[in-house]
Structure 1
Amino acid sequence: MGLILKQLFAFIKLLNSDTGNISLALGMTCGFILGMTPVLSLHSLLIFLILFFFRIQIGAALVAAFFFKFIAFLLDPAFDFVGQKVLEMESLQGFFTTLYNMPIIPFTRFNNSIVMGSAVVTFALSPIVFILSQYFIVKYREIVVARFKGTKFWKALQATKFYQWYYKYEQYSWK
Structure 2
Amino acid sequence: MKDRRSILVSFRRDIHRSHVNGARLPPEFQPEFENSQHPYMLLDPGPGLRIVDINDAYARATFISRSDVVGKSLFEVFPDNPGDEFADGVSNLFTSLRIVAQTGHAHAMSVQRYDIRDPGGNFIERHWQPINTPIHDRDGHLIFLLHHVEDVTAQVQRQSGQHGGRDPHLQS
- Structure (1/2) with the larger strand percentage: 2
- Structure (1/2) with the larger helix percentage: 1
TM-score, normalized by the shorter chain, greater than 0.5: no
Q: TM-score, normalised by structure 1?
A: 0.29
Q: TM-score, normalised by structure 2?
A: 0.29
